[in-house]
Chains A and B, each alone.
Chain A
Amino acid sequence: MNLTTNLGKLKLKNPVMTASGTFGYGKEYSEFIDLNNLGAIVVKGISLKPMKGNPDPRICETPCGMLNAIGLQNAGLKEFIKQQLPYLRNFNTKIIVNILGTSINEYIELAENLEAAGVDAIELNVSCPNVKKGGIVFGTDIKIFEELIRDVRRRTRLPLITKLSPNTADIKLFAKAAEDAGSDIISLINTITGMSINIKTRRSRLANITGGLSGPAIRPVAVRMVWECFKTVKVPIIGMGGIISAEDAIEFILAGASAVAVGTANFVNPIATLDILEGIKSFMSGNNIKSLKELTGTVKC
């Protein structure tokens, strides 16, 4: 059985990756799973300077999912390269770094430094709904979005992944724009903006008022968007949004994903990624499927 998947020039040993922001920098999960068995680790978003994040409460549970407004808390590029990257490099898996900035120049500086530091790919975070500056601005204004990708593309040889926001009128337009601007891969979906109110206090259950919805609640939306983008672009797609089982992952693959990212499920079950990988293997062997290519985008419509 061939589990490898080629995302352009980024070659993964299997299609199961982690979603940014749900796996820290890997260390916490190494106690539960062998990180060598993952297709790739996408680390928590990194900015040039440390970010302290939003006030609490930052999360609340909602039916079959959760809202979060962490606010991209991270220790910054220097700390990541010094403290986290050397550890991650001990494992035989691809290390993908999610980056975010408040200006195009910041994204470029991040990409250049990370390329020099020896990471395997960059994921442009243009779709975080929880910070006022940067983030989603780049993901919802299509002109700035294209300019950002084009400029970062010129300055790095690393495989470039653009993570798409579902909080736009038509995600296909952004998928196409990302492809045209030189993104090698697209990943989708980021969280869907949401809100939950405590009716006793009449306050939002998040200090940030709104947050990003993740978990199985958003899966049908995500599958639909992957399918739409698959029909629109030629670049490979990393599918994500509420994957909690192998069956969920296979849905995304049939809709057009060449790889899948597991997010919120890591919080629920720290061995979710490898459970899902095992499930994909047994689905393939049970159905006499020799390679992932026989599955990607083969939904009958």
Chain B
Amino acid sequence: MSRLFKASVIENRQVIKNHFLLTLHPLDNIGKPRPGNFFMISVDNCLDPLLKRPFSIHRWLGRDFQILYRVAGKGTSILSNRKPGDTLEIIGPLGNAFPSLRSNNKIIMVAGGLGIAPILGLAETINKYRPLCFYGARTHEELLCIDELISLGIEPVISTDDGSLGEKGNIVDVLKKYLSSQLPPPPRFCLYACGPGPMLIALSDLAKTFNLKGYIALEQNMACGLGTCLGCVVNTTDGYKRVCREGPVFPINEVIWE
């Protein structure tokens, strides 16, 4: 079993505009990824783009696995054109994972936009603990995986920036209202979150206000994904840490936002 492996594309389906669901079949045995782990994927065997791209594991299907991604540049654009039967070179699973649940905590999952990618995989492993889920997107079309969450017995609280579904506004404000409505003493909540930078910053402030513990999965440009290039660092209360190695999941109160 090697973390450097090839996988063939089973399906690469556009789910909404610019968003794709990629199903891969590893051609070698690979380690079972845990929610929060990521893979470095070579979108093509070429010099431009040169580097592999990091993608978090979306769903583990036993042997095959899925990546949910958005076309954001040249690399993901090439990836979106890969067809069933194509072979991709991949390294992984890499990085750390969302930590296991402490029994006396109630989990609140928070996803913003494509941050749902690792959160759904997490939901699949912890749904027996009946976590809450707060999920926001720009518009209702960009709310992915709602049916999957419901089929796991998780009814997400939803918001959209344009008000096209759920509450109008951002999901952190919705969560704040919910937390404020809880009678003291508040349950021991623990946040598990992934989403864009501004959402995570707001969530960090919220965690401070309500004295909540939590973990956030970060995204960062990477060259190697293995911990050697030191290119993907994030500033923390304990100095610069590598998102690929000490992360991508960090305690929410550890990250220093600049």
Contact = CB atoms under 8 A, between A and B. Distances in A.
Report which residue of B51, B89, B229, B234 has the largest number of chain A beta carbons within 10 angstroms of its beta carbon: B229
B235 interface: yes
Q: Which 4 A-B pairs have the closest CB atoms?
A: A59-B231, A24-B228, A267-B224, A267-B223
Nearest to B224: A267
Given A29-B228, A56-B234, A270-B4, 8 more contacts: A24-B226, A56-B235, A58-B232, A73-B230, A267-B229, A268-B42, A268-B51, A268-B52
Interface of A: 21-24, 28-29, 31-32, 44, 52-53, 55-61, 63-66, 68, 70, 73, 215-216, 244, 264, 266-271
Given A59-B221, A64-B47, A270-B91, A53 B230 contact: yes
Contacts of B52: 268
Contacts, number: 91
Nearest to A216: B47
Contact of A215 (B50, B233, B234, B240): B50
B233 A61 contact: no
Query: Which of B3, B221, B222, B234 neighbours the largest number of chain A CB atoms within 10 Å of its CB?
Result: B221
Interface in B207-253: 220-224, 226-235, 239-240
Contacts of B89: 269
Contacts of A68: 223, 229, 231
A52 B231 contact: no
A267 B50 CA distance: 9
Nearest to B228: A24
B223 A55 contact: no
A244 B50 CA distance: 10
A47 to B, nearest CB: 14
A66 B233 contact: no
A57 B197 CA distance: 14
A10 B233 CA distance: 35
Contacts of B223: 59, 66, 68, 264, 267
Interface string B41-55: 010000111111000
A267 B51 contact: yes
Contact of A270 (B222, B226, B231, B235): B226
Main secondary structure of the interface of A (DSSP, over half): loop
B81 interface: no
Nearest to B91: A270
Contacts of B48: 63-64
27 contacts: A22-B228, A23-B228, A28-B224, A28-B226, A28-B227, A32-B2, A32-B3, A44-B230, A52-B240, A55-B258, A57-B221, A58-B231, A61-B51, A64-B47, A64-B48, A64-B50, A68-B223, A73-B230, A73-B233, A73-B240, A215-B47, A216-B47, A266-B224, A266-B228, A267-B51, A268-B42, A270-B226
Contacts of A216: 47, 50
Interface residues of B, number: 30
Contacts of B224: 28, 266-267, 270
Contacts of B234: 56
B233 A58 contact: yes
A268 B89 CA distance: 10
Contact of A70 (B50, B221, B231, B235): B231
B230 A58 contact: yes
Contacts of B50: 61, 64-66, 215-216, 264, 268
Contact of A32 (B4, B51, B232, B258): B4
B84 to A, nearest CB: 25
A22 B223 CA distance: 10
Contacts of A32: 2-4
Interface in B166-213: none
A270 B235 CA distance: 26
Contacts of A63: 48
B3 to A, nearest CB: 7
A35 to B, nearest CB: 13
For A24, A64, A215, A267, the residue with the greatest tally of chain B CB atoms inside 10 Å of its CB is: A267
A24 to B, nearest CB: 4
Contacts of B227: 24, 28
B3 A31 contact: yes
A271 B42 CA distance: 14
Most buried by A among B226, B234, B235: B226
A83 B221 CA distance: 28
Interface in B133-184: none
B162 to A, nearest CB: 22
Contacts of A56: 220, 232-235, 240
